């Protein structure tokens, strides 16, 4: 156990606490720091060391994992420490922010002699250290490889490139699919609810649709649209976009008539209509990507 790499965790919200707990369970000497120190109590009871200051936390390990609400919180914590405390450290920030903020942060860290690895962690706290958990990492590969075994305690380590912004680009791409898919389900549940039906009646159909989308069968649209985007060709012979733009209008009417929120339905209608107006009416649905890439 004593041969495990010491690690520091800064930020003990739901996620940081789960991470520090996973390091402790794997036998890593674990130092923690949080703005609200009482959040460390349970971890200290399990063997973690509570640092008296961020500088002391950084000094306790060669690698520091940060899990904070955003990147500003990192500056709030580390921006006021003695700059010498950062020199030679590897910071692994697994907080959410925009890709551009990550790039800025990598420059800020380098200016203090530290290496910043950025990461987008793709599971909720109970998934930390569990099979299937993975994290998109970006930044210098050598620094990541030096600490790979430690970071693998949290999840699979997927290095996606040296541009420090990439971790959030991938993370936000995935989170957008996650949130918009589930929000569509909430709208569907609300629509059925206006007719006195619970979502359980719809659930088997939704399960089938989601499985079909990812399949290689005739309804395997994820594969179909991926190929179309890669090739830039959007055949619409069997289901043209104009027909679907008219259908999207009907969904707005259905939601409005039912008295439920029309926000996402209106956004879809706007995108489809814009692609139709741009001359893609006879093409397929995938042609919408053209107005997503170049908004009119």
Ligand X SMILES: NC(=O)c1ccc[n+]([C@@H]2O[C@H](COP(=O)([O-])OP(=O)(O)OC[C@H]3O[C@@H](n4cnc5c(N)ncnc54)[C@H](OP(=O)(O)O)[C@@H]3O)[C@@H](O)[C@H]2O)c1
Nearer to ligand X, 71 or 234 (CB): 71
By CB under 6 A, name the one of 6, 125, 199, 235 that touches ligand X: 125
The torsion of the CA quartet 286, 288, 294, 296, rounded to 10 degrees, works out to 170
Give residue for tokens 């929120």. Answer: 261
Contact between 100 and ligand X by CB under 6 A: the answer reads no
Q: Pick the closest to residue 67 from 146, 26, 111, 123 (CA basis).
A: 123
Which residues in the 146-185 window bind ligand X by CB under 6 A? none
Contact between 12 and ligand X by CB under 6 A: the answer reads yes
Rounded to a whole number of angstroms, the minimum distance from the CB of residue 76 to ligand X is 4
Rounded to a whole number of angstroms, the minimum distance from the CB of residue 124 to ligand X is 4
Contact between 35 and ligand X by CB under 6 A: the answer reads yes
Q: Pick the closest to residue 164 from 137, 134, 135 (CA basis).
A: 137
Rounded to a whole number of angstroms, the minimum distance from the CB of residue 32 to ligand X is 10
Local structure of 90: helix, strand or coil: strand
Distance CA 117, CA 143 (A): 8
By CB under 6 A, name the one of 39, 141, 242, 270 that touches ligand X: 39
Rounded to a whole number of angstroms, the minimum distance from the CB of residue 15 to ligand X is 3
Distance CA 93, CA 115 (A): 11
Contact between 64 and ligand X by CB under 6 A: the answer reads no
Contact between 67 and ligand X by CB under 6 A: the answer reads yes
Contact between 95 and ligand X by CB under 6 A: the answer reads yes
- Sign, Cα dihedral of 279, 280, 282, 283: positive
Residue 249 near residue 198 (C-beta atoms within 8 A): no
Contact between 22 and ligand X by CB under 6 A: the answer reads no
Nearer to ligand X, 54 or 284 (CB): 54
Report how far Cα 90 is from the mean position of its chain's Cα atoms. 22
Distance CA 12, CA 14 (A): 6
User: DSSP state, 115?
Assistant: E
By CB under 6 A, name the one of 34, 64, 118, 240 that touches ligand X: 34
Contact between 93 and ligand X by CB under 6 A: the answer reads no
By CB under 6 A, name the one of 24, 48, 55, 77 that touches ligand X: 77
Binding site for ligand X (CB under 6 A): 11-16, 34-36, 39, 67-69, 73, 76-77, 95-96, 121, 124-125
């Amino acid at each position: 156990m004593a041969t495990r790499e010491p690690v520091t965790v800064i930020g003990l919200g739901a996620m940081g606490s789960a991470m520090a707990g996973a390091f402790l369970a794997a036998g890593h000497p674990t130092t923690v720091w949080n703005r609200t120190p009482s959040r460390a109590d349970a971890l200290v009871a399990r063997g973690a060391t509570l640092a008296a200051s961020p500088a002391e936390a950084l000094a306790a390990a060669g690698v520091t994992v940060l899990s904070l609400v955003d990147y500003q919180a990192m500056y709030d914590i580390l921006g006021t420490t003695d700059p010498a405390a950062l020199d030679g450290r590897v910071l692994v920030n697994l907080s959410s922010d925009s890709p551009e903020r990550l790039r800025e942060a990598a420059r800020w860290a380098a200016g203090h002699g530290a290496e910043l690895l950025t990461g987008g962690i793709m599971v909720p706290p109970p998934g930390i250290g569990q099979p299937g958990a993975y994290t998109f990492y970006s930044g210098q590969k050598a620094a990541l490889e030096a600490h790979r075994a430690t970071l693998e305690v949290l999840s699979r380590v997927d290095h996606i490139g040296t541009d420090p912004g990439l971790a959030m680009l991938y993370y936000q791409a995935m989170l957008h699919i996650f949130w918009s898919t589930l929000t569509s389900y909430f709208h569907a549940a609300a629509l059925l609810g206006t007719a006195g039906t619970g979502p359980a009646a719809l659930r088997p159909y939704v399960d089938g649709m989601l499985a079909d989308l990812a399949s290689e069968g005739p309804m395997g649209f994820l594969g179909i649209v991926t190929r179309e985007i890669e090739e830039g060709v959007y055949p619409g012979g069997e289901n043209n976009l104009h027909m679907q733009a008219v259908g999207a209008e009907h969904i707005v009417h259905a939601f409005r008539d039912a008295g439920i929120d029309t926000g996402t339905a209106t956004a879809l209608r706007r995108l489809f209509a814009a692609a139709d107006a741009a001359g893609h009416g006879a093409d397929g649905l995938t042609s919408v990507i053209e107005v997503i890439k170049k908004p009119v």
